Structure 1
Amino acid sequence: MPRPPAILQVLPALVSGGVERGTVEIAEAIAGAGWRALVASAGGPLAAQVERVGGVHVTLPLDTKSPPAIWHNAARIAALARAEEVAIIHARSRGPAWSGLIAARRTGARFVTTYHGAYNEGVPGKRLYNSVMARGERVIAISRFIAELIEARHGTPRERIRLIPRGVDPRRFDPASVAPARVLAQREAWGAAPADKVVLLPGRLTRWKGQMVLVEALARLPGAIGVLAGGGNDAFAQALQDRAVQLGLDARLVLAGHVEALDVALLAADVVVHASTDPEAFGRTVIEAQAMARPVVASDLGGPRETVEEGVTGWRVAPGDPAALAATLARVLAMPEGERAAVGARARQAVLARYSTQAMQAATLAVYRELLP
């Protein structure tokens, strides 16, 4: 009997983030289809989740951009592909993608990429380095914004591009599954009284994610509590705290760090903010908030233009403009609770219809089937 097809996903590591969670979700779908799900990375906490969903994790030193290391990793991936009779190598990040492309050419495996970011081109040679993500026999774009970027920047033929938006798991992000006591406890942990308005920005602490924009906006929102949920740059965290002190709102700013129960945190907020100042390839936290029926105010650029319908499933504001963000937040927070809830309900229905994990998994399996013998 022939072995079931093996699909190998390659990425730098499995620590945290949307790329990493998507890798686990696709490993689950591959295993569920009766195929063999392999994931190669330098490891991390999510490696155990790959195993739990029926996949196999192989530890390789793929968390590097060094050309010699990329070349050596190509040999390692090729050896793994031969040993496991890998049919498809699916690359999710640039360094591992170069290794995976070389390995695919050496072994005859088919090559798929997912183009996860807008990838800046600020230094010489960067476009060439980025171009590997457009060299798949099938190139998965995670938004229309990214599909258009791939075509314009790299000249990738449209027939090789497959638009597969990121998905949210409605089993994990379901308002009905969260006990009210957990929501109350979360708000109390943030120092918010029942009548206080809480504005939540989920995302790692890095300047382009717009946390400073929200801090500046809070100065124009008397009484509102701002919560920044995410770990990351300690120096930037200190800069946020220092600016809050200068503006006299340090008592109204909470740096919550990494939040494990994001569904609870989202439900504990009155409004969720996406304030990125650079274009997001997709913006997964937006659909997670919408899945929890939360009103969302998002930057009007990149992926959120596709997931936030103005005035229907949320609102969009000019990026990097604290005054515009504050004005929109003030208007949303002043709405009757029933009107905000109606926006949240419409947002959840839109996510369930268009942006579920199951839809993402099914569409990705369909791409694999195009290439399997």
Structure 2
Amino acid sequence: MAQSILVMFHCNQHTGYAIGSLEKAFKQAAIQAGFEEGNILWSYRKVFSSEENVFSINYFCPRDTVKLKEVLKAHDVGTILAFDLPHPSPIIRTARKMGVSNVVAYWGASMSSIYKGLKLFIRRCQWILQAGAAPDFFIFESDAMLRTATHGRGIPSRRTRVIPLGVDTNIFFPAAEERYAQKIFSIPINRKIIIYSGHMEERKGIRVLMNAMLELERRQRLEPVHLLICGNKDQQSNIYEDMLINSQAKKHVTFAGYRTDVPQLMRSAYLGTIASTGWDSFTMSSVEMLSSGLPLIVSELQGLKETIENGVCGFYIAPGDYHALASLWLKYIDDIELREQHAKAARKRAEKLYSIDAQVTRIAQTLASKPISPNEIYRDRKLEEY
């Protein structure tokens, strides 16, 4: 019987958002790496719909290692691809005992703070002691994330890969004079739509967007602008809408909720903004905006700033600087030629660096890579920079 691959997530089944895109990419990568579709298994913390080859396994529940053993044995699993898999981990120890030859951890967030000197040396020593319970390879979406592994957890750089998120450029593409969002939300056609798409945690900077809209009102420049925010669920938007009470800006902001028509909405937009105030990864929405031909304004934070080339397809702002954000919005609105230049550069950057095909191929190559023996002596000159 051909060996199987188990793709593991620490979140619940049907989470959506970026997880949905990763599920598709992981499946394509597994097939490209040589696994038959029927031999691709999936696990989640909670499973809501009973499906073949889908299992409920919680990374952080020791009792679930029994379930894992059963799955690995019954399906002859030779490879595990796990999202945000910590190390050391009982999952990995169990996998090794059951004969799994290759464990790849895909990280969508930072692993640690950055250390130097003695603190970094201690973490390298910890890696040596715990290497038997660590993945063979770690995939990160940005250089900033990778550095938290090599200079935060002491992981050898040869165990790491940077594979940026990929976007389907055939789904997210520019379209001149698209009016979809204007029709759906009754937005006046004379307004330029600025779009945000993503989660609604405080660190994602929705408060900064609200303050920028209020700043435009103070400058008496609200009229040409409409802010479209996608991703809110339940009552998540309430605290931000309350910021706009008794302001004219309230009429220029739409909270669209969780959407399945994001490609059409982005084609209706004039530019994109991600104004995060805390750590932010290499976000899927950022590459979707670029692929849609939207100039992109982002906070100058860790992996997020890697998505654009500053001054070429967008601009950086300091985290929380809503004054600068409002000014950049107006800069694009007042300078149509600049907007068009950056729009073309954004699309070109997405096609060159962030296509789904490139992402899938790189993940497939990692899945097919020869595992590194955990007993190898740890030497890595690239980490000796402190």
State the partner residue of 1:98.
89
1:100-123 alpha-carbon deviations (Å, 9 max, x no partner)? 3132122121221012112578xx
Identical aligned residues as a percent? 21
Give the CA deviation at 1:261: 1.1
Give the CA deviation at 1:239: 0.8
1:65-120 alpha-carbon deviations (Å, 9 max, x no partner)? 4xxxx212122112111111111111103479935313212212122101211257
State the partner residue of 2:120.
none
Superposition map of 1:108-187 within 5 A: 108-109=99-100, 110-118=102-110, 135-175=134-174, 183-187=178-182
State the partner residue of 1:206.
201
- Structure with the largest fraction of helix: 1
State the partner residue of 1:317.
317
Q: What letter is aligned with 1:9?
A: V
Assess, with a 3 A threshold, how the Cα gap between structure 1 residues 239 and 277 changes in structure 2: closer, same or farther. same
Give the CA deviation at 1:17: 2.5
Correspondence 1:196 to 2:195 = no
| Secondary structure of residue in 1 paired with 2:62 | helix
Normalization by structure 2: what TM-score?
0.82
Normalization by structure 1: what TM-score?
0.84
| Secondary structure of residue in 2 paired with 1:159 | helix
Give the CA deviation at 1:42: 4.2
| Secondary structure of residue in 2 paired with 1:370 | coil
> Alpha carbon RMSD of aligned pairs, Å?
2.7
Correspondence 1:39 to 2:42 = yes
| Secondary structure of residue in 2 paired with 1:90 | strand
Give the CA deviation at 1:318: 0.7
Number of paired residues? Answer: 345
Q: Name structure 2 gaps, 5 residues minimum.
A: 114-122, 217-221, 373-386
Partner Cα separation in structure 2 for residue 140 and residue 312 of structure 1: 28
Q: What letter is aligned with 1:230?
A: G
Q: What letter is aligned with 2:110?
A: A
Partner Cα separation in structure 1 for residue 53 and residue 172 of structure 2: 26
Correspondence 1:254 to 2:254 = yes
Partner Cα separation in structure 1 for residue 257 and residue 326 of structure 2: 23
Partner Cα separation in structure 1 for residue 4 and residue 342 of structure 2: 43
- Assess if the C-alpha contact under 8 Å between 1:201 and 1:273 holds in 2: yes
Q: What letter is aligned with 1:276?
A: S
| Secondary structure of residue in 1 paired with 2:165 | coil
State the partner residue of 1:82.
73
Assess, with a 3 A threshold, how the Cα gap between structure 1 residues 356 and 317 changes in structure 2: closer, same or farther. same
Q: Name structure 1 gaps, 5 residues minimum.
A: 122-126
Superposition map of 1:18-37 within 5 A: 18-35=18-35, 36-37=39-40
| Higher-RCO chain (CA-CA 8 Å, sequence separation at least 6) | 2
| Secondary structure of residue in 2 paired with 1:194 | coil
- Assess if the C-alpha contact under 8 Å between 2:111 and 2:152 holds in 1: no
Structure exhibiting the larger radius of gyration computed from Cα positions: 2
State the partner residue of 1:124.
none
Q: What letter is aligned with 1:229?
A: C
Partner Cα separation in structure 2 for residue 252 and residue 305 of structure 1: 27
Q: What letter is aligned with 1:111?
A: V
| Secondary structure of residue in 2 paired with 1:240 | helix
| Secondary structure of residue in 1 paired with 2:245 | helix
1:281-330 alpha-carbon deviations (Å, 9 max, x no partner)? 21221110000101111111122321211111111111111111111111
- Assess if the C-alpha contact under 8 Å between 1:259 and 1:265 holds in 2: no
